[in-house]
Amino acid sequence: IRLSLVGSEMCIRDRSRKEIKPLEDQIRSVAKTSINGATDVAKLASELIKLGSTETEAAALLKPIDDLSVALRATAEDAAGLVKGLLNAYGEGADQAARYTDVLAAAANKTSLDFNGLRDSLSYLAPVAKSLNLSLEETTSIIGILADNNIKAESAGRLMTTSFTRLATNGMTLN
C-alpha cells in the first residue's frame, strides 16, 4: 500500500476509491476542525500508512495525532512518527493513541520539554523503558524532571537508556 498526494487528493495505490473512502472521509472530518488543512491531514495519513498502519488504524490515529501536532507546534508527519513509534515500542494499538498523545501533551505543558525534546529522548528510551515495565507516563515524568533540572532531553534519553539497559542486563528493575 502506498499513498501519494495528487493536489489535495490522497491516493492509495492498489486500492479502489471505494476501499479508501472511509479514510478519505476521516481526513476531511479531521481537517474541518483543525488548523491543519486537508493536505496536511492527508500527509499525516500518508505518513501513518508508510509507518505500517492499516487504513483503519490510520483513520483512528488521525485526530489524536493531528491535535498533538497543533498543540506542540510540530508537523503532522513528525507527530505521526513519534506517536506511531511509541505505540510500536510499547506494543500498543491505535486504540491507545489518544492516551499517548495526552501524555505527551501533558509532559510538554508541565515540564520544560518540547516536541523535539520528547521525540529525541523517547526515541532512545521508550524500548528500554518498556522492557523494565515503565509506563509512558513514568518515562515522560523521568525525562521531564531531568529536563527541568537543565539536562538536555536527548542527553537524558541516552543516559537513562544506558542506565536502564544495565539494569535490564543484570535482571534488575526500578522497583
pLDDT of residue 118: 95
Give the DSSP H or E segment for 31. Answer: helix 17-32
Question: For 78-99, what is the mean pLDDT?
Answer: 95
Cα angle vertex 91, ends 56, 30, to 5°?
Answer: 35
CA angle (164 as vertex; 151, 139 as ends), nearest 5: 60
pLDDT score at 12 = 54
The backbone torsions φ and ψ at residue 160, rounded to the nearest 5 degrees and listed phi first, read -70, -35
Report for 53-57, 94-98, 129-133: range of highest mean pLDDT:
94-98
pLDDT at 173 over 80: no
Q: How far apart are CA 66 and CA 163, in angstroms?
A: 33
In this predicted model, what pLDDT tens digit does every residue of 32-66 receive, in sequence order?
999 999 999 999 998 999 888 988 999 999 999 99
- Model confidence at 15, pLDDT cuts 50, 70, 90, reads low
Query: What's the pLDDT at 10?
Result: 47
